[in-house]
């Protein structure tokens, strides 16, 4: 059984996808990501890795739609999440094993396609807001809504897109398997894309779970010492992008709640990361959540990033 401290790391989209959406391009991006992760693993830290899948599942839905026919029907969203979990996990596992071997470290890495439990009573199902899949004209969207139970909404003047619920995770279905791997010193890649959304009865649902909230729930059930949420900036900021921009080194829950009320964090961008970090600190009390960039990951013990602490 491992005696290392356990850290859950939530990779942002820039860790996987750059300007090249091909398999080769994403594999190359993940090789660079693996170098940063191994720099942390070398510090005798037990790492559990989650990742996003937004662009990948979006591209897969486009491919499914283009090939959809009675003989070759498009796969449902929960299955597409599983498919992208598998492909990204496969690429990242290979990249990590290659980098670990180059450093002379044990190459014990496992990818687990993970189901995450949501409540059928979650209010998100009554008000779907998460856009997925291709852009359509209003006429096409109206026709799809007539023919199916899907809901489409206009998306920022760019066209109409299908929207699905984004419920909060309430449990990690596969937590016992993840725990067994962690206890046997495996680096675990899991809960990709927020996990496959399933109900408490195990039925897959048409939804997308925010990967930062899923990562928080995972860190909580694993009793991790830290949750690290990676993004495109070194720290979170007040008045981001403005002349009076202020970077935050350390902030407590009460202060963050005030900053949220003041509208400092963009919904769908920094806000869910901040809320997930707050949830972890609230539950774990003395443990810390950190929001930082991939490039600063190896130095997270040395005042890098924004540290979220309890009051």
Catalytic residues: 13-14, 130, 211, 273
Neighbour count for residue 112 (Cβ, 10 Å): 18
Beta carbons within 8 Å of 124's beta carbon, 6+ residues apart: 165, 166, 167, 168, 207
d(CA 151, CA 128): 8
Q: Which of 107, 87, 80 is nearest to 22 (CA)?
A: 87
How far apart CA 253 and CA 275 sit, in angstroms, is: 10
Q: What angle, 0 to 180 degrees and rounded to 10, lies between the N-to-C axes of helices 270-284 and 211-221?
A: 10
Q: In what order do the strands lie in the sheet with 115-118?
A: 169-172, 115-118, 196-198
Q: How far is CA 212 from CA 91, 127, 141, 209, in A?
A: 21, 20, 30, 9
Smallest CA-to-CA distance from 10 within 295, 290, 296 is with 290
In the three-class reduction of DSSP (H, G, I as helix; E, B as strand; rest coil), residue 157 is classed as: coil
Separation in Å, CA 34 to CA 37, 127, 182, 268: 5, 38, 18, 26
Burial category of 35 from C-beta neighbours within 10 Å (exposed 0-12, middle 13-18, buried 19 and up): middle
Would the CA dihedral through 57, 33, 269, 254 be positive or negative?
Answer: positive
Rounded distance, CA 245 to CA 237, Å?
7
């Amino acid at each position: 059984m491992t005696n290392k401290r356990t850290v859950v790391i939530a990779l942002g989209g820039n860790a996987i996808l750059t300007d090249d959406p091909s398999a080769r391009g994403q594999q190359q991006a993940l090789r660079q990501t693996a170098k940063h992760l191994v720099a942390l693993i070398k510090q005798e830290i037990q790492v559990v890795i989650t990742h996003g899948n937004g662009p990948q599942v979006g591209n897969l839905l486009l491919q499914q739609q283009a090939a959809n026919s009675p003989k070759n029907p498009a796969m449902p969203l929960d299955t597409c999440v599983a498919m992208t979990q598998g492909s990204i996990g496969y690429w990242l596992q290979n990249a990590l094993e290659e980098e670990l071997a180059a450093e002379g470290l044990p190459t014990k890495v496992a990818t687990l396609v993970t189901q995450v439990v949501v409540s059928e009573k979650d209010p998100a199902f009554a008000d779907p807001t998460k856009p997925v899949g291709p852009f359509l004209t209003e006429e096409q969207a109206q026709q799809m809504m007539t023919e199916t139970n899907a809901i489409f909404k206009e998306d920022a003047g760019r066209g109409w897109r299908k929207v699905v619920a984004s419920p909060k995770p309430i449990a990690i279905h596969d937590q016992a398997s993840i725990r067994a791997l962690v206890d046997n010193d495996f680096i675990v890649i899991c809960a990709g894309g927020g996990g496959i959304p399933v109900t408490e009865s195990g039925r897959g649902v048409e939804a997308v779970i925010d990967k930062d909230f899923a990562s928080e729930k995972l860190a909580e059930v694993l009793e991790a010492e830290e949750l690290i949420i990676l993004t495109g900036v070194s720290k979170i900021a007040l008045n981001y992008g403005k002349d009076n921009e202020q970077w935050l080194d350390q902030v407590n829950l009460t202060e963050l709640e005030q900053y949220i009320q003041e509208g400092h964090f963009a919904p769908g961008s920094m806000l869910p990361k901040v809320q997930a970090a707050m949830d972890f600190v609230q539950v774990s009390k003395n443990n810390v959540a950190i929001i930082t960039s991939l490039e600063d990951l190896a130095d997270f013990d040395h005042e890098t990033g924004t540290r979220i602490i309890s009051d």
